[in-house]
Amino acid sequence: MLALTINRIRSMSEENPPVQPVCQPVAAPARRVGSRRRSAARLVWLAWALCGLLPAHAEDGYDLWLRYRPLEAPWAERYRNSVRELVAAPPGTGDAAQTELMRAMVGLLGTTPPISLQVTQDGAIVFGTPRSSVSIARLKLDLTGLGSEGYALQSVMLDGHRATAIAANADAGVIHGVFHLLRLLQTHQPVEHLSLRSSPRVQRRVLDHWDNLDGTVERGYAGASMWDWHKLPGYLAPRYLDYARACASIGINGTVINNVNADALALTPMYLEKIAALAGVFRPYGLKVYVSARFSAPMDIGGLQTADPLDPAVRLWWRQKVDEIYRHIPDFGGLLIKANSEGQPGPQDYGRSHADGANMFATALAPHGGIVMWRAFVYSNNPLEDRTKQAYREFVPLDGQFGKNVLLQVKNGALDFQPREPAHPLFGAMPKTPLMLELQITKEYLGFATHLAYLGPLFQETLDFDTYAQGAGSTVAKVIDGSLHGHSQTGMAGVSNIGTDRNWTGSHFDQANWYAFGRLAWDPGLPARGIAEEWVRMTFSNDARFVDPVIAMMMGSREAVVDYMTPLGLAHLMARGHHYGPGAWQNGGARADWTPPYYHRADAQGIGFDRGAGGSNAVSQYAPPLAAMFNDPERTPEKYLLWFHHLPWDHRMPSGATLWDELAMHYTRGWEYVRQMRKTWADLAPFVDAERYAQVAAFLGIQEKEARWWRDAMLTYFQSISQRPLAPGLTPPEHTLEEYQAMSFPYAPGNPGWTAAPFRR
Amino acid sequence: MLALTINRIRSMSEENPPVQPVCQPVAAPARRVGSRRRSAARLVWLAWALCGLLPAHAEDGYDLWLRYRPLEAPWAERYRNSVRELVAAPPGTGDAAQTELMRAMVGLLGTTPPISLQVTQDGAIVFGTPRSSVSIARLKLDLTGLGSEGYALQSVMLDGHRATAIAANADAGVIHGVFHLLRLLQTHQPVEHLSLRSSPRVQRRVLDHWDNLDGTVERGYAGASMWDWHKLPGYLAPRYLDYARACASIGINGTVINNVNADALALTPMYLEKIAALAGVFRPYGLKVYVSARFSAPMDIGGLQTADPLDPAVRLWWRQKVDEIYRHIPDFGGLLIKANSEGQPGPQDYGRSHADGANMFATALAPHGGIVMWRAFVYSNNPLEDRTKQAYREFVPLDGQFGKNVLLQVKNGALDFQPREPAHPLFGAMPKTPLMLELQITKEYLGFATHLAYLGPLFQETLDFDTYAQGAGSTVAKVIDGSLHGHSQTGMAGVSNIGTDRNWTGSHFDQANWYAFGRLAWDPGLPARGIAEEWVRMTFSNDARFVDPVIAMMMGSREAVVDYMTPLGLAHLMARGHHYGPGAWQNGGARADWTPPYYHRADAQGIGFDRGAGGSNAVSQYAPPLAAMFNDPERTPEKYLLWFHHLPWDHRMPSGATLWDELAMHYTRGWEYVRQMRKTWADLAPFVDAERYAQVAAFLGIQEKEARWWRDAMLTYFQSISQRPLAPGLTPPEHTLEEYQAMSFPYAPGNPGWTAAPFRR
């Protein structure tokens, strides 16, 4: 650690690496200040100018994209002219906005602008709602259509002075506007002539935390659960506040606090008190709390003999429970329910439908304005029916039967968060029901925290997927933002990748996936590349010599994972349970559809799952133009080829290669991409602080090793079936199939049935 | 967060709280520097002088007692004259020492002393061994008797210049000496006329991490396990290095990396590679790695059909396994084994003795210089035999039968890490066997992380306990430092309280317990109060207005826990399993001796466990003078009274009160002490940074609530048995016994059988 410090001191005085946070002398900000304030300001200025020389706060990733490190000289100088004073809202409203602005000004510009009651000079920042701020009210900006969360950023004249207005209809909009302005500063955008309006295209933008009450996180790769249940409500960790800030900064407005594999105890008074304490921290940032409810709670904690959703006692119990929740948390968002799925209890236990179940909750929540998020991730253990077809079959007949405040939460694909899947056939197929998109931010199937895989392109691929539900252009984005079928209830959920790790997400680059989810939930039309650029600039550097190669690296990184794990439409080849590493050969066990061979169906003839008309006919669940395309191997996009078709090993691919050779090429290409990322990163060392550089470099080392492991193991295994040689020139696998099969990782993190095995056995 | 920053800026410029790390202008250190170096030094100086004004690294506790924040003016000025240059050891040896010195100088004094090859000016620091440093060799200091870990701190003249020598026989001694010197600076001690020699009285000073391979920590209250097994060996977190620094700074020289309830997988090549990577980080700090071995490993991972310690195949397996360990880790410390205890496998499964088991490991380890730490914490589930007697009965007959490199690891008391126990009767009773003391630093039975309880007095009470084994003065300290019975193998183990929490130990004050353990292991004769003072000064402030009240608060804090949990010799009244909160009424279950009523034995007549001659006769396991004393209620120290005697509720106590009233008084006094601590702390706000102040304040709030819960629940329960009224004036309990009994905390942290229950059931 000291070595770094010393190096840093040296580099500051001798040769300065371009992106090391460079401190620039700044003009003292104050005009209307007395001599005492002026001298304090000068001290701030001096200290700020020299801060880079000190053993300062290490760049350990905790600050996320809200680092607020000193901006480079021309920009800092320029921005300082636009933030000469803050025109305060009255105390109590907009406190969060003002605090964030001040924090950013101190960090980015080394200035503490005076807080005034009205605009007194050029370069004022005016923020608030027409009710909270007299100045905003006097501007009479048109805020119609912005709702309660949108905002306007407008360069204005007020009392003869230039000012920047951040105006909204409600405090939540103000805080979003503040973060937008700060993003402009952090990414070197001009702010002198602003005329921006923004409001979210999706109403409920929530993070689903698969956090258990015992502190573990299902599919979590970033340490333990952030929620320190044992110390709540007595102790509110600073991290809770910083979590709310981070969420607000990217537009996330909801958080489902506990695992969808829910524990009914979360609904007991003891836990409601704890959850209410968290809600209190989140509230100023426009972040609402939701809870996952266990369907059998009336039995688990209510003393009832049934959880039948049509039983009056059960319905009464839930109504009273929901009322109790709202007594604790008046702005509670609603309930998320996983029912009749993977062993969870549900309405079908009583011969009732998913609609019966969801509507029971909807009735209880409606008086309070709460919603039900009902998960569509259901499948029975019937290996004769293609698992990807089952949710469609169960839910499409229920279209129109759900209460108004029910959103059906559908995973991006019909299987389970694979590196690549075609979009779920339910999108577009239930016009009377608002569908909520569920994405997985945590990389359960994409290499956990150590693999660099930017998910922006994956999310965008889903959102841009054309369902043809109302003809061409019926994208998933239009389904979930409500525009295709005219829904006003809309939502997008991301399964969180956040834990107690110092950098929140287990790796620095996984922060980008949290970021991308939030930005896309706000506006599903944003390009993944643009989001990556924002994130890189805020999180690391604005230096083009860093920004450009890192964006390029990120943009191809998810395709690399597809290549080295499951190319050409293959899926679910991961090892059983924890999903760490390859396990394509794993057979047997409790469920056929929890084994890889169920999905790849490799045999002496070929490989792939025949979902065409002659196979499972899953293609028929898509709109006719898609169904026709997916039914034809020649027209099926190569990336989905083996998802829909079982093809001979010698099938001729568009490249001219056989399927077998093409497969080997993809596996090899994925591994090579990671090797290239390592090289790229190594060249970027001068632009990154030492601690973050080292972690990323170490993780890329792990990823390269594991990418090769994936490639070698998969080729070795499939070769044992295809009986074909590897194309000349390809690196032969390191180990034998038996060696790959012998590998075992009982403690790979994130297991759902995580146990302290040593004591138990 | 920003509010703090702003407040801090304000307070710096307006009125300065006395202990807020105050920056003082300092003289530029350099003399022999060129103009470039001089200007760099001036920049460092300026920046350092102003650093307090910036949104700097928050005081979140991560830095422990090695904060190295700027020292107050007169002291900084003074010390700067003693550290004008560092005389370097050759690269590769002493790097850790030099790095630490530089880091501290930058932080404490704002100076980066030049590194020279010989003494060139007054105020040099010369460090190293006679082999690594020419200057040290030339000083010809007498280093005999310092061993490989001791050191001399000596003010010397060299080449006509004043210098401070840190001299040792080996690098480990040098690093210990460096930390001693830094401690002097951090606590405002003079350093101009040093003549100190120090070497450890105990040879193996180890932390036992009860960390499971799945990332959980048994009895851990500070987050998850620090060891990120999944990312090892590919990624070495900076925390590993800082852990080694912290351990070295207090003299800890060993770390048992995994839980005594061991998983045999820790001995597989995959994990040995990971452990070796950790050992590589620790090595420069003189910290050796040890592993907990599962006795049945030859069957679990070796494919053998038995683990019989006399079976040649088993013995061969262990020999080869130990050889393999040493190939990975040449300076491996040894193995810790929990056998035939609480369900763990052991030699008795094969009709062999503990000595047979331990000696098998000893034979395998001896060629490499490794040791066996064999735990004496054994007891059968025979409610007819007093559990506290069983270890003595099992082990005393084995005295003399253990191999030379076996240490028998004995908990401080015969029960299980209670808030108070008399010392274990094994101490002094096995003169031919080196006994190692096992203390519990993690507060399993003392309120977890949120209760402020400084354990220095508890540790000291054990060490000062007179066993009378060789007449008066045969303290436990003399047993375990080997002096009483002439052992050269000596050891002291502390069950770690460290996890992934940002402040390492779950609370700021629990850092003091890690600190105290290390200091006492180095020198069991140090007073708990003096250790507390060192720690407070380094961790918080040297301001007497803070130091004095905080030490006072700490010194009584453990007695307060005794009072509100288990006063007058009571024990094990905690709730079952997790041990969180009171559970004195809990009966039934798998084992009688896992229930509180087994221990308190309250009935209509009275309360307490009769261990006198007429009872279990546990007193007879102590040396005759003690046995006689403990056998007599009138002579038994009040603090052990109900440990040894069952006495009537109306028994007259020395105070004149009845036992019942005395009990109620103690419970009440404990609660009141916590209330007083809250008040004390509230007054200290001006002396502490905001983040640490707030956490301590919140935890004291939790502690007050839980102290009252303990008091009220215990009085309510015992009153239901004693049928006596509370003395007039005592606050009546808040709830009914039924209400206390109905409380349930299935997810209280630290459970040994921790499971993600929601998915499992």
Give residue-wise pLDDT tens across range A438-489.
999 999 999 999 999 999 999 999 999 999 999 999 999 999 999 999 999 9
Match 């010390």 to its residue by tokens. B79
Q: Which of residues 719-758 of B touch A (CB under 8 A)?
A: 746-749, 752-758
For B508, other C-beta atoms within 10 Å of its C-beta total 24
Nearest beta carbon to residue B103 from set A1, A265, A757:
A1
* pLDDT higher than threshold 70 for residue A40: no
Tally of CB atoms within 10 A around A395:
24
User: E-strand spans in A59-160?
Assistant: 85-87, 115-116, 124-128, 151-158
What integer pLDDT is reported at residue B381 of this predicted model? 73
- Of B567, B211, B316, B610, the closest CA to residue B419 belongs to B567
* Closest Cβ opposite residue B47 in set A47, A294, A695: A47
Question: Could you give the CA distance from residue B365 to residue B483 in angstroms, rounded to a whole number?
Answer: 25
Q: Residue A606: beta bridge partners?
A: A648
Gyration radius of chain A's alpha carbons: 27
What are φ and ψ of residue A629, in 5° steps? -65, -50
Output the pLDDT for position A753: 56
Q: Please give the torsion angle defined by the CA atoms of residues A599, A602, A606 and A609, in that order, rounded to the nearest 10 degrees.
A: -10
Of all residues in chain B, the one with the smallest CA distance to A223 is B224
Contact, A331 vs A288, CB < 8 A?
yes
Contact B712, B720 (CB under 8 A): no
Residue with tokens 């190295």: B68
Averaged pLDDT of chain A: 91
Q: Is the pLDDT of residue A330 over 80?
A: yes
Pairing of strands A406-411, A435-440: parallel
Q: Which one, of B359, B361, B364, B358, lies nearest residue B376 by Cα? A: B358
Please list the residues that pair with B254 across neighbouring strands. Answer: B206, B288
pLDDT digit string, tens, across residues A531-565: 999 999 999 999 999 999 999 999 999 999 999 99
Residue A262's nearest CA partner among A325, A365, A351, A335 is A335
Nearest alpha carbon to residue A151 among A189, A206, A196? A196
Q: Would you call B502 an interface residue with chain A, using a CB distance cutoff of 8 Å?
A: yes
DSSP one-letter string for B694-738: HHHHHHHHHHHHHHHHHHHHHHHHHHHHH--PPPTTSPPPSS-HH
In sequence order, which residues have a C-beta less than 8 Å from that of residue B259 and are 6 or more positions away? A758, B209, B210, B211, B212, B217, B218, B292
Answer whether B8's CB lies under 8 Å from B20's CB.
yes
DSSP 3-state assignment of A403? coil
Q: Quick count: other Cβ atoms within 10 Å of Cβ A488?
A: 8
Asked if residue A567 has a cis previous peptide bond (ω within 30° of 0), the answer is: no
CA distance A490 to A434: 6
Paired tokens of A86: 């803050």
Least confidently predicted of A383-387, A474-478, A589-593, B12-16: B12-16
Query: Active-site residue A444, yes or no?
Result: yes
**Which single residue is written with the structure tokens 């997916």?**
A630
Q: Reply yes or no on whether the pLDDT at A592 is more than 60.
A: yes
Among B11, B26, B48, B50, the strongest candidate for a mutation testing the A interface, having the largest count of A CBs within 10 A, is: B50
Phi, psi of B576 (to 5 degrees): -65, 150
Residue bearing the bigger pLDDT, A590 or A173: A173
pLDDT of residue B57: 59
Nearest to B299 by CA among B287, B279, B310, B314: B314
Question: Would the pLDDT of B19 be above 50?
Answer: no
B750: left (phi over 0), alpha (psi -120 to 50) or beta: left
> Mutate which of B214, B689, B745 to disrupt the A interface (most A C-beta within 10 Å)?
B214
What are the residue ranges of helices labelled H in B523-658? 528-539, 544-565, 596-600, 624-631, 641-644
Structure tokens at A492: 């997008």
Q: How far apart are CA B144 and CA B159, in angstroms?
A: 24
Q: How far apart are CA B265 and CA B293, in angstroms?
A: 9
Taking CA atoms, A66 is separated from A127, A548, B111, in Å, by 20, 20, 31
What's the confidence (pLDDT) of residue B526?
98
Structure tokens at B413: 């008391």
pLDDT digits (tens, 9 = 90+) for B96-145: 999 999 999 999 999 999 999 999 999 999 999 999 999 999 999 999 99
The predicted pLDDT at position A44 comes to 43
3-state secondary structure of A78: helix
What single letter denotes the amino acid at residue A144? T
- With a cut of 80, say whether residue A21 has pLDDT above it: no
Picking from A106, A262, A752, the nearest residue to B5 by CB comes out as A106
**Distance between CA B288 and CA B266 in Å, rounded?**
16
Cα A650 to Cα A611: distance, rounded to the nearest angstrom: 20
pLDDT at A58: 78
CA distance A440 to A425: 18
Label the pairing between strands A491-495 and A288-292: unpaired
Asked if A416 is an active-site residue, the reply is yes
Average pLDDT (B483-494) is 98
- A261 and A218 Cβ atoms separated by less than 8 Å: yes
Q: Is the pLDDT score of B760 beyond 70?
A: no
Residues in chain A: 761
Strands A371-375 and B606-607, bridge-based pairing: unpaired
Whole-number Å distance between alpha carbons of A741 and B373: 37
Tens-place pLDDT, residues A239-273: 999 999 999 999 999 999 999 999 999 999 999 99
E-state strands within B363-432: 371-375, 406-411
Q: Which helix (H) or strand (E) holds B274?
A: helix B269-282
Q: What is the pLDDT of residues A91-128, one digit of tens each?
A: 766 789 999 999 999 999 999 999 999 999 999 999 99
Whether B69 and A55 have beta carbons less than 8 Å apart is answered as no
User: Per-residue pLDDT averaged across A635-660, rounded?
Assistant: 98
Q: Taking the CB of residue A237, how many other CB atoms lie within 10 A of it?
A: 20
pLDDT band at A754 (very low <50, low <70, confident <90, very high): very low
By the 8 A CB rule, do A288 and A332 touch? yes
Task: State the virtual CA torsion across A740, A746, A749, A752 in degrees, nearest 10.
Answer: 120
Q: Which residues on neighbouring strands pair with residue A289, listed in sequence order?
A: A255
Q: Residue B307 has which token pair?
A: 């683990």
Distance CA B323, CA B302 (A): 15
Distance CA B156, CA B140 (A): 11
What are the tens digits of pLDDT across the range B717-739?
A: 999 999 999 999 999 999 999 99
CB B232 within 8 A of CB B278: yes
Q: Which two tokens stand for residue A463?
A: 């959102």
Burial annotation B516-537 (CB, 10 A radius, 16+ → b, else e)? bbbbbbbbbebebbebbbbbbb
- Among B32-41, B88-97, B303-312, the range scoring the smallest mean pLDDT is B32-41
Task: Give the pLDDT of residue B288.
Answer: 98
Where helices occur in B301-371 by DSSP H, the ranges are 312-328, 354-365
Q: Which helix (H) or strand (E) holds A554?
A: helix A544-565
A216 touches B at CB < 8 Å: yes
End-to-end, the C-alpha distance of chain B in Å comes to 41
Active-site residues of B, by number, are: 342, 416, 444
Contacts of A674 (CB under 8 A, 6+ apart): A452, A560, A564, A700, A703, A704, A707
CA nearest to B704 within chain A: A234
Interval A190-201: pLDDT, tens: 999 999 999 999
Residue A342 is among the residues annotated as catalytic for this protein: yes
Stretch A504-525: mean pLDDT: 98
Does residue B2 carry a pLDDT above 90?
no
Q: B-contacting residues of A 62-121, CB under 8 Å?
A: 99-100, 102-103, 106-107, 112
Phi, psi dihedrals of residue A339, rounded to the nearest 5° = -130, 145
pLDDT digits (tens, 9 = 90+) for B346-405: 999 999 999 999 999 999 999 999 999 999 999 887 778 999 999 999 999 999 999 999
- Whether the full predicted model's pTM is greater than 0.90, yes or no, is yes
- Would you state the structure tokens that stand for residue A472, as one six-digit string? 């061409």
Does the model's ipTM exceed the 0.90 cut? yes
Q: Do B55 and A216 touch (CB under 8 A)?
A: no
pLDDT at B589: 83
Name residue, tokens 């537009």. A251
Average pLDDT over residues B62-81: 95
Confidence band, pLDDT 50/70/90 cuts, at residue A57: low
pLDDT at B16: 35
What letter would DSSP give residue B107? I
Interval B524-545: pLDDT, tens? 999 999 999 999 999 999 999 9
Contact: A103, B2; criterion CB under 8 Å: yes
Strands (DSSP E) found in B36-171: 85-87, 115-116, 124-128, 151-158, 161-167
- B423 - beta bridge partners? B413
C-alpha–C-alpha distance, residues A609 and A569, integer Å:
9
Q: What are phi and psi of A52, to 5 degrees?
A: -65, -15
Q: In this predicted structure, what is the pLDDT of residue B31?
A: 35
Is the CB of residue B697 less than 8 Å away from at least one CB of chain A?
Answer: no
* Residue in A with minimal Cα distance to B113: A6
How many residues can be counted in chain B?
761
Contact criterion met (CB below 8 Å) for A208 and A495: yes
- From the CA of B413, how many Å to the nearest CA of chain A? 24
